[in-house]
Structure 1
């Protein structure tokens, strides 16, 4: 929790219980939609509105504390970290981080300096493949 407070302290945002709860959910889930965050946070903040979640997600994103993963059907969010790719399951929608190797990262940096790096890999996750068998 202290690490999450540090993320807010290093920004221009106030530390609020709602923001900490959002970050805690993202830390726990890895990747989550606004609706998933809202459903889980309502257990702790029954009076919280979806509009409050949207407002705080936007503020956290504007401060680069969290990043948006642009999926075809519904964006998900994660705590910002080193550049990496995302594997997205075409069956269940699960999102997993995939590290960039240094060769790919170096080549992207060389050809496109000062760019935002987003790489999406689509396929079927291990769990969905096992269900097919």
Structure 2
């Protein structure tokens, strides 16, 4: 929890139990929808509203603490880990992170300087391939 508090301390956002709970859910899930976050947090904070989750997600996103992953399914969120790619399963929607090589980053930077790199690769994950 200390690490999550320091994420908030590095911004102008107040440290609230709700924001810490959202970050803890993202830390546990890796990638989660707003609805998944809400379902788990309402067990801890029964009176919390979905609107409060949306408001805090937007504030955390604007502060650069979390990132939104836009998918054809439902958008998911993750704690900002710097530049990396996402493999998205076309069957189950599961998301896995993968590292961008220095060569990939240099190639992109040479052609498109000063860009945010969001790379999505779609395919079928190992679990879905087994079934």
Normalised by the length of structure 2, the TM-score is 0.98
**2:118 matched to 1:118?**
yes
Segments of 4+ in structure 1 off by > 3 A?
A: none
Q: Which residue of 2 aligns with 1:86?
A: 86
SS of 1:57 mapped into structure 2: helix
The correspondence of residues 24-43 of structure 1 with structure 2, limited to 5 A, is 24-43=24-43
When the two structures are aligned, how many residues end up with a matched partner? 131
Q: Which residue of 1 aligns with 2:44?
A: 44
For the residues of structure 2 that align with 1:111 and 1:71, how far apart are their CA atoms? 25
Structure 2 gaps of 5+ residues are none
For the residues of structure 1 that align with 2:44 and 2:33, how far apart are their CA atoms? 18
SS of 1:115 mapped into structure 2: coil
Q: Which residue of 2 aligns with 1:4?
A: 4
For the residues of structure 1 that align with 2:71 and 2:2, how far apart are their CA atoms? 30
Q: Which residue of 2 aligns with 1:15?
A: 15
Normalised by the length of structure 1, the TM-score is 0.96
For the residues of structure 1 that align with 2:64 and 2:82, how far apart are their CA atoms? 12
Q: Which residue of 1 aligns with 2:75?
A: 75
